[in-house]
Structure 1
Amino acid sequence: MALLAEGAIREIASYYGLNVIASIERRTVTGLITADGQNYVWKFAEEKDSEKRLAALSKVSQLLQEKGIRFAVALPNQNHVYLTRLHTIPSLGYLQPWLPGRHLNLGLPNERMAAIHALAQLHQLPVQRMDASVLSHHTPLQQRIFLKARALSGVWKDACERCPPLEPFSVGVLKQVSQVLEEPAPFYRQLVEFRQLSFCHRDLAPHNLLVGPAQEVQLIDFDQSGLDDPLYDVAQIANHSLFLGNLQAGDWRKMMDAYVEAAHLSPLRERLLWRILAWPDILARSLVEWAKRGYPADDWARVHYALKCESKRRQLLYSDSPYPIRM
């Protein structure tokens, strides 16, 4: 999408009653600075960004603010609608607040724990007060795990030929793939039978978690959000912490114990969570992306780091999991 020209910025300002004095272009959004010191972000709408969905997310924002957590959602314009059509650049878009703060650092134990507690609060929002018709996610967690396993199975042999250090991982990785694709594993049946739906962020990369001026956790970029199994969010935080956080024995246990307590997770759901954490997500993602790029040698460093992360995953599972984990 084209960057915002001066005419488009004036058009946005008129729709929202703003006095814009400066703009800052980012990769996918434009920041707008106003004379009264308020900062905003303009985002071009995607196909899924309907008026109904943006209104539903606004209601979720109000529920989350009751918990003391801010997240950036679309603001209504002066016509009391969320989607605004620009004429200078024929397109739909919406304005949202530019939350002050810095990216959360998952390498810091206190910030990891703050993220876990914020996540538990997000997942406990009352679903019955949300518009499920536009917030439901239609690919269940067990299906996403199945698709990941199938993709990993399809590239594993070629990846091992090009990167021999992968070979020692073959037995464990292929066993996990087999459990997903071939065996009637009780774990995957339980994901269906005991499925729980909560409002989930679904894209919890560190750049979507902010630490605000009062050291509070703030959430941004809800493009992928919706009603889903909350274990998906928890696994994302755990895997990003593994990738970025230099975790030590006991760190995963502290994170998961905190989530279990704050989210009132049942023993069965806790066991399912630890089973999901055993999936080699970082390695699977790295190898599938490597294959898509044609296995360039320049990616070897990325693959080797993914292997290092998966070695650390095994260590953490053996040291931290309260349940026996089949690897």
Structure 2
Amino acid sequence: MERGESLGTLLTDNLLSKLERAYGLTFMQAVKLRTVTGLRTSGGAMILKRYEGEGMKKRLDAIGVALDAVVCAGVEIAPYLKTKEQNMYISDRGGLWTLQPWLSGRHLSMYDPKERKAAAVSLGALHRVPTAKLVEKTSSLRVPPLWEKYRHRLERAQEATYRIGALGELWRPFAERAKQAVRELQGPRFLQALERDNRSGAFCHRDPAPHNFIWQEKSAALIDFDLAGLDVRVHDLYQLLNHALYLNGHETGLFQEMVEAYDRTYPLCEDNRRVLEALMSYPSLVIREWYDYGKTGNRKALLPRLEWAALQEEKRYKEFKGK
């Protein structure tokens, strides 16, 4: 088999032979990509991915069952290819390896309204499938409470602001909004939305970034479900809105078009709408800049980026609050 230039030491001839036997395929070419390996096989182009540790088995099994249900419902995604023994992966030297079809197309552009709306439709279609009802061990798909993630990011950003006291006035109003949002995410609206979504079986992607969508001329297909789980579904939508704001800057109707496209696909309940309002009050772009500064210490880059982020968050807040 012809190989790419840099496959690393893990992808050995013995492993490739084991994979060929397990899946009943012939591999012709392998090319190492950033986090995965692309394979040209007798069954078409595939993506090969490695996971660390035997402890991932239950989670991969649960995700595999969920993805199969999504495919059966007619939603375009890349499921795990099953081995001849109907397993979702093979084990090799302490690692687990999955094989998925390589979907044709390109990564989504958040600059195109048509593609942004298609991404929202894709999320709604994913959430509408009652996957959790088909997964026996849903505990493998449980995720930490949403408020914990946003409280943690707020705390790290707060710590970073202590290094530059002169920017305190720029930080304080956003800090108050973030604290209020975290409090609301711990309230009954969030718990009711999460309970409703878990009961209906909504399976969430939890990382709907542009590089995890494949644009296929008229629709957007989701890939890379490594972080997927049973979450409040509006969190996926919020993350998509955040990516649009970060990459585009604010423009009139930016959020409304995506929320409406999602809502037509899978209507939001009142509790989910309240959770979305809380999330949209959380100034992610400002917190992201402080959070990144805390890791890099790059003061020169901070101020212009922080001022830009603050402007976008003010516009977001006014639009979503209807002011």
Q: Could you say whether these structures have the same fold, taking a TM-score greater than 0.5 normalized by the shorter chain as the test?
A: yes
Deviation readout 1:215-242 (Å, 9 max, x if unpaired): 3221111111010111221111011101
Match for 1:235 among 238, 242, 245? Answer: 238
Matched-pair contact (CA < 8 Å) for 1:106–1:245: yes
In the alignment, which residue of structure 1 is the partner of 2:69?
63
In the alignment, which residue of structure 2 is the partner of 1:195?
193
Match for 1:271 among 271, 274, 292? Answer: 274
**For 1:232 and 1:47, how far apart are their aligned partners in 2?**
28
Deviation readout 1:115-168 (Å, 9 max, x if unpaired): 11111111122132333534432411122222222222222222x34xx5x444
Amino acid at match of 1:156: T
Match for 2:118 among 102, 114, 119? Answer: 114
Aligned-CA RMSD value: 2.6
**For 1:22 and 1:106, how far apart are their aligned partners in 2?**
32
Matched-pair contact (CA < 8 Å) for 2:241–2:255: yes
Calculate the TM-score normalised by the size of structure 2.
Answer: 0.84
In the alignment, which residue of structure 2 is the partner of 1:174?
175
Deviation readout 1:250-307 (Å, 9 max, x if unpaired): 22122223333432213343132022112111221232232123x034xx43663354
Q: How many residues align?
A: 309
Q: 1:178 to 1:246 in 2, by over 3 A?
A: closer
In the alignment, which residue of structure 2 is the partner of 1:296?
298
**For 2:185 and 2:229, how far apart are their aligned partners in 1?**
24
Aligned residue for 2:252, secondary structure, equals: coil
Deviation readout 1:51-106 (Å, 9 max, x if unpaired): 4333332332233224432222322222322231336xx63312121121110111
Per mean C-alpha deviation after superposition, the further-off stretch among 67-76 and 107-116 is: 67-76
Q: 1:188 to 1:51 in 2, by over 3 A?
A: closer
Amino acid at match of 1:22: Q
In the alignment, which residue of structure 2 is the partner of 1:305?
305
Are positions 1:139 and 2:144 aligned together? yes
Match for 1:81 among 87, 108, 113? Answer: 87
**For 1:18 and 1:223, how far apart are their aligned partners in 2?**
24
In the alignment, which residue of structure 1 is the partner of 2:284?
281
Amino acid at match of 1:195: A
In the alignment, which residue of structure 2 is the partner of 1:93?
97
**For 2:185 and 2:215, how far apart are their aligned partners in 1?**
36
Aligned residue for 1:312, secondary structure, equals: helix
Matched-pair contact (CA < 8 Å) for 2:160–2:291: yes
Are positions 1:44 and 2:50 aligned together? yes
For structure 2, the 5+ residue unaligned runs are: 1-7
Are positions 1:153 and 2:155 aligned together? no
Matched-pair contact (CA < 8 Å) for 2:285–2:313: no
Q: Percent identity?
A: 25
Matched-pair contact (CA < 8 Å) for 2:80–2:88: yes
Aligned residue for 1:31, secondary structure, equals: strand
Cα deviation, residue 320, structure 1 = 4.2
Aligned residue for 1:43, secondary structure, equals: strand
Matched-pair contact (CA < 8 Å) for 1:260–1:270: no
**For 2:39 and 2:126, how far apart are their aligned partners in 1?**
28
Deviation readout 1:179-209 (Å, 9 max, x if unpaired): 367xxx5563134442323211011121111
Are positions 1:258 and 2:261 aligned together? yes
Q: 1:310 to 1:116 in 2, by over 3 A?
A: farther
In the alignment, which residue of structure 1 is the partner of 2:30?
23
Question: Segments of 4+ in structure 1 off by > 4 A?
Answer: none
Q: 1:8 to 1:268 in 2, by over 3 A?
A: closer
Matched-pair contact (CA < 8 Å) for 1:29–1:43: yes
Q: 1:261 to 1:267 in 2, by over 3 A?
A: farther
For structure 1, the 5+ residue unaligned runs are: none
Amino acid at match of 1:169: L
**For 1:296 and 1:26, how far apart are their aligned partners in 2?**
30
Amino acid at match of 1:310: A
**For 2:161 and 2:238, how far apart are their aligned partners in 1?**
23
**For 1:10 and 1:142, how far apart are their aligned partners in 2?**
45
Q: 1:95 to 1:150 in 2, by over 3 A?
A: same
**For 2:184 and 2:17, how far apart are their aligned partners in 1?**
58
